[in-house]
Structure 1
Amino acid sequence: MNRLARLDNASSWSGDLNPVQRSALEYLRDANRFSRSPSHVAEFLGTTRGTMSQTLKALLRKGFVQEVRSESDKRSISYALTRAGSAVLAEDGVIAVALTNLTDQEVVELESGLRQTLRQALKLNGGKSFGQCKTCRYHEAAKGAAFCQLLSVPLSAEDSEKICIEHEEAVVA
């Protein structure tokens, strides 16, 4: 797994982006509107808030992200991708390309094994799952609409597909 991570990082150098900046952009692309603060990005990527703050400022200067101030708390900042940020992510990395050469069964088995490994690693170090809203114990889907019971807010179809800082795996009976 370390070798795969190193290959992925090596292929992440793109234009004037380093691998950490690319990872931050990928996280912001995949995260829901509640999960885009510098501390959320830092937690997901396993780095410090200070390091991530500097990374996001660099991405802001390069025009790949924009700051979004909270309506309820003007001190609270989150980040969103710009068109340039989305465009720079359009090219798949070496791992994504390699996965296209696997059979459907191999992909299913790989995903299952990696998911179990991630669960165990998170359990060991107390990390958050950052799963998709639709797989969360607080996600409620009824009559074509979705709702987050934890935050007491309606969710768009797009929100339900994104990853969330508040995610807790649904208990399967």
Structure 2
Amino acid sequence: MNPSALLLERLGTLIHQSVRDDAARHGLLPIHVQVLGYLAQANRYSNLPIAIAEYFGITRGTVSQTLAVLERKGLVVKRPDPKHGRRIHLELTRAGRAVLEDSWAQRLDAALAAADGGGEGLEAGLRGLLTELQRLNGQRAFGICRQCVHFQGTPVNATCGLTGEPLAEEQTSRLCREWSAPAEAGS
């Protein structure tokens, strides 16, 4: 096995262990904590039950059961979409955000900040690896809104070229299920 593959496998194991520890500390399952973390990063096109299923590669039934637990524990609320009939958006409550304090994601951010070479080169390499694995597995890409081919304007005055809708600045730095990779320079 390639040494990089071994390192990635070990990193994945350590992250998974941290997620399990965080979940146990709050009386939750790992998927519950992962969904909370996802929702903390999701934009308005991605804070939907179907997007959660796509992002984690789980069934709608599993998403429904997960959301029922998170709602019952007061960690998320469902909000109807004013424009789209039966569509609901999911939002973290204060208690949901509190679960994410001192979480595995924050520890990972701190470790990346402290690591040598944890800058743009590492991010670009990991993004390329992720994109290729998603392609090989036939999965939807997801990505940061302002790094999408459909992003138009500036973060303060942005529009989604796919939907034609204006984007609030805070939405442009979040995950989007409609994300598409920009064309490579010179392609």
* TM-score, scaled relative to structure 1: 0.90
Paired residue secondary structure (1:17): coil
Pairs aligned (count): 172
Query: Which of 8, 15, 35 pairs up with 1:8?
Result: 15
Q: Match for residue 131 of structure 2? A: 119
Find runs of 4+ consecutive structure 1 residues off by over 3 angstroms.
Answer: 94-98, 106-110
Q: Report sequence identity in percent.
A: 37
Residue type at the aligned position of 1:10 = Q
The answer to whether residue 64 in structure 2 is matched with residue 53 in structure 1 is yes
Alignment RMSD (CA, Å): 1.9
Rounded Cα–Cα distance in structure 1 between residues aligned with 2:92 and 2:156: 28
Q: Structure 2: which 5+ residue stretches go unaligned?
A: 1-7
Q: Match for residue 91 of structure 2? A: 80
Q: Match for residue 114 of structure 2? A: 101
Rounded Cα–Cα distance in structure 2 between residues aligned with 1:25 and 1:39: 15
Paired residue secondary structure (1:146): strand
Asked whether the 8 Å contact 1:10–1:19 carries over to 2, the reply is: no
Residue 41 of structure 1, CA deviation: 0.7
Rounded Cα–Cα distance in structure 2 between residues aligned with 1:62 and 1:117: 36
Asked whether the 8 Å contact 2:75–2:96 carries over to 1, the reply is: yes
Q: How does 1:21-36 map to 2 (within 5 A)?
A: 21-36=32-47
Q: Structure 1: which 5+ residue stretches go unaligned?
A: none
Does 36-45 or 121-130 show the bigger shift? 121-130
The answer to whether residue 157 in structure 2 is matched with residue 145 in structure 1 is yes
Paired residue secondary structure (2:53): helix
Q: Match for residue 169 of structure 1? A: 181
Rounded Cα–Cα distance in structure 1 between residues aligned with 2:177 and 2:134: 14
* TM-score, scaled relative to structure 2: 0.83
Residue 61 of structure 1, CA deviation: 0.5
Does 119-128 or 32-41 show the bigger shift? 119-128
Asked whether the 8 Å contact 1:133–1:164 carries over to 2, the reply is: yes
